[in-house]
Every structure is written in structure tokens, then in C-alpha cells.
Amino acid sequence: MSADQRDTPAPRRGRRLAVDVGDARIGVASCDPDGILATPVETVPGRDVPAAHRRLMQLVEEYEPIEVVVGLPRSLKGGEGPAAVKVRRFAQELARGIAPVPVRLVDERMTTVTASQGLRASGVKSKKGRSVIDQAAAVIILQQALESERVSGKPPGEGVEVVT
């Protein structure tokens, strides 16, 4: 075993859920217990926030993840605007509802654009694509989070503290 292999901690085992929060829809993705491949789960209607939280809590119960990763929208320069404030509030409420399962915020810059381009390239029409674009973005958020953890050996992004 090389010195590099000894210094890198073993990746955490366990399924994760990722959430791409939008005004109208919330995309949800999951990964396998080894944290290798992210796949779409469903699109949750987002306009009724309490109902969306209830559905996400059901998904957490069903999938039993070791954590939930929420995409944090930042500007290209890394700043945070009104959308990020809204997502932070959403993540805080979610963290309260699913505790002790941790919630982490990860940078989601360009994920929806990347997801749109990928769906278009695969022949999905934009009208039909709206229902899956948020799931595709959640898959990208989760895949990036998993890769970040593999490279750094640390959980991705920043933890959301549960404030009561």
C-alpha cells in the first residue's frame, strides 16, 4: 500500500439524497450505498413548501440516507443572492424536519444549464424536459458532491445547523 493510499480516508458508505430546489419544482436524486452513481428519483412540486417538505421527509424515511445534499445557487462569481437566501431557509427547515439526518449545502453553479444541455443532446424536448430537468440537475449536484468527497476525503459543502 502506498503512502497516498494510507493518507486517504475510506469513503463514507451510505446512500445520499440530493435536492435541487426550484420555485415550481424540486428535483430529487439518490445514489447507491457505495456513493458511486447518482440516479434520478422524482420531481416534487415546489410551490406548496409544507407539502414539499412532507414529501422530502417521506423520501428520507424511504431511502434512509446518511445525508441530504441541497444545491446552493451562487452567482458565477460565487456570491449569494435572493435565490440562495431562499434555499438556505428551505434547507434549514428541511434539516429541522429530518434530524438527525444531516443536511449539507453544496455549490450548484451551472447544474441546471448542464442538465438542460444534456437532455437536449439526448433528444428530450423542452416541454417534456421541464418535468425531468430538476431531477437531472439533482443528479449532477449529487455526482459533483460524491466526486468532491472522493477527492478531498471530507463531506462536501457546508453543514446546515439545526436551529430550534
Q: In whole angstroms, give the CA distance from residue 26 to residue 132.
A: 10
Q: Which domains does the chain have, with CATH numbers?
A: 14-154 (3.30.420.140)
pTM: 0.84
At residue 161, what are phi and psi to the nearest 5 degrees? -80, 140
> Cβ atoms within 10 A of the Cβ of 89, count?
12
pLDDT tens, the chain, 164 aa long:
444 444 555 568 999 999 999 889 999 999 999 999 999 999 999 999 999 999 999 999 999 999 999 999 987 777 888 989 999 999 999 999 999 999 999 988 655 555 555 656 666 665 556 667 888 889 999 999 999 999 999 999 999 998 77
Question: Which grid cell sits at 89?
Answer: 431557509
**Of the candidates 123, 119, 92, the residue with the CA atom closest to the CA atom of residue 21:** 92
Cβ atoms 123, 107 nearer than 8 A: no
